[in-house]
Amino acid sequence: METTTEKKSVFLSDEELRERINELRTQKNAIILAHYYQVPEIQDIADFVGDSLQLAQKASETEADIIVFAGVHFMAETAKILNPAKKVLLPDLDAGCSLADSCPPADFKRFIEAHPGHKVVSYINCSAAVKTLSDVICTSSNAKAIVDSFPEDQKLIFAPDKNLGSYINSQTGRNMVLWDGSCHVHNQLTDERVIRLKIDNPDAKLIAHPECRGPILQMADYVGSTAALLAFTKTDSNKRYIVATEGGIIYQMQKASPDKEFLVVPSDETCSCNDCPYMKLNTMEKLYLSLKNEKPEILLDERVMEEAKKPILRMLEISKAAKIIK
C-alpha cells in the first residue's frame, strides 16, 4: 500500500524538488514553517519545525516576505493575522482541522451569550472567527499559564477542546465551562488500546498529548504538547515509550534519540499508525507548487484580522512573561 511519505512526483525527483524549493525560497525571501505532524521530508526542508506555540512565535517575528505554512488552515490563518502585510501560503487549502470544525462561530457566540460574566479562553485550534469571540488564545504548551493568568474567581469558558479543557481543570482546580469539541485523531485513541500496549510493553513509559481522552491522560507518565513530549524523550532516562498523539512527531524523537524505541498508539485495529489526514495533505510537490505559484494564499477580512489579533497577542505576551518560549 502506498503511504503518504512514499508518494513521488511524476515530474520531479525528490532531489529536484528539494533543489527547486531551496532556489525559490532564496529568490523570494520565503520562510517554510512546519508542524511536527508533517511528513519527514517536509520537516527536513523546513526553516523551522515546531509545535503550535513555537510556530506562532516564529511567525510573529519573521522578516521573510512570504510564509509557507506546512501545517493546517488555522495555523496559517494565525500567521496571516500576525502578518497582515505578508503573503501566507498553505500548500493544500483543504488542510483543515476536525477540532476547529467542531466549533462553528455562530453556535459559539450563542454559547458565550448563555454564560454571562465568563471570559473566553480558546485553544489556537479554532477559526479566526472564533478567535474574534475570545479574550485570549492558548496552545497545549501554555494553556495552564494562560488560565492561571486570570483571578481565581473569574468564571471561564474553555473552547473548543473538551479533553484539553478538562485536563486543565484538573491541573488548576478550576471549573471552566467546556465547549463540547474534540480532535478526531486524538479522541479516537482508546484506553483499551493503550492498556494492551502497556501490558505488552511493561518497560515503556506512556507519554500523551492533552487532546487525548481523560483516562489516557490519567494513565500517562507525562502529558505535554508535541514540543514538550519531544523534549521529555530527549532528557528522560527510559529507553522505550508509548506515544499517544499523531505519529509525525516520532520522526524528530527517533532522530534525537536513535537508541530509543517509540510505539505509536494505533488509531484502529487495521494499522500501527495514527495520522492526521489534514496534516498529511501537504506534500513536497504541493509545497514546491505553492512557492512557485504563490498560492493557495490565506486571505482574511481586515476586521476579522484586527479582532482576532488581540487575543493572540495576549497569549504571546503571557507566554513571554511565563518564559514559555522556543
Q: At its nearest, how many Å lie between ligand SF4 and the CB of residue 267?
A: 11
How many angstroms separate the CA atoms of 277 and 119, rounded?
33
- Give 213-280 as a DSSP string: -HHHHHH-SEE--HHHHHHHHHH---SEEEEES-GGGHHHHHHH-TTSEEEEPPSSTT-S----TTGG
CA–chain centroid gap for 73, Å, is 11
Q: At its nearest, how many Å lie between ligand SF4 and the CB of residue 161?
A: 8
**Chain positions contacting ligand 13P, by CB under 6 A:** 51-52, 125, 139-141, 183, 211, 225-226
The set of cell numbers assigned to 160 is: 473548543
Q: Kindly tell me which of 17 and 33 has the beta carbon lying closer to ligand SF4.
A: 33
Backbone torsion region of residue 173, taken as left when φ is above 0, otherwise alpha when ψ lies between -120 and 50, otherwise beta: left
Q: Which stretch binds ligand SF4 (CB under 6 A): 95-103, 200-208, 263-271, 318-326?
A: 95-103
Q: Kindly tell me which of 21 and 244 has the beta carbon lying closer to ligand 13P.
A: 244
For residue 183, state whether it binds ligand SF4 (rule: CB under 6 A).
Answer: yes
**Footprint of ligand SF4 on residues 247-276 (CB under 6 A)?**
276
158: which strand partners?
Answer: 121, 178
For residue 98, state whether it binds ligand SF4 (rule: CB under 6 A).
Answer: yes
Q: Which of ligand 13P, ligand SF4, none lies near 52, with the C-beta cut-off 5 to 8 A by kind? A: ligand 13P
3-class DSSP state for residue 304?
Answer: helix
For residue 99, state whether it binds ligand SF4 (rule: CB under 6 A).
Answer: yes
Q: At its nearest, how many Å lie between ligand SF4 and the CB of residue 107?
A: 18
Q: Which of ligand 13P, ligand SF4, none lies near 140, with the C-beta cut-off 5 to 8 A by kind? A: ligand 13P
How many angstroms separate the CA atoms of 46 and 15, rounded?
15
The DSSP symbol for 142 reads T
For residue 133, state whether it binds ligand SF4 (rule: CB under 6 A).
Answer: no
Enumerate binding residues for ligand SF4 (CB under 6 A): 72, 97-99, 125, 183, 185, 246, 276, 278-279
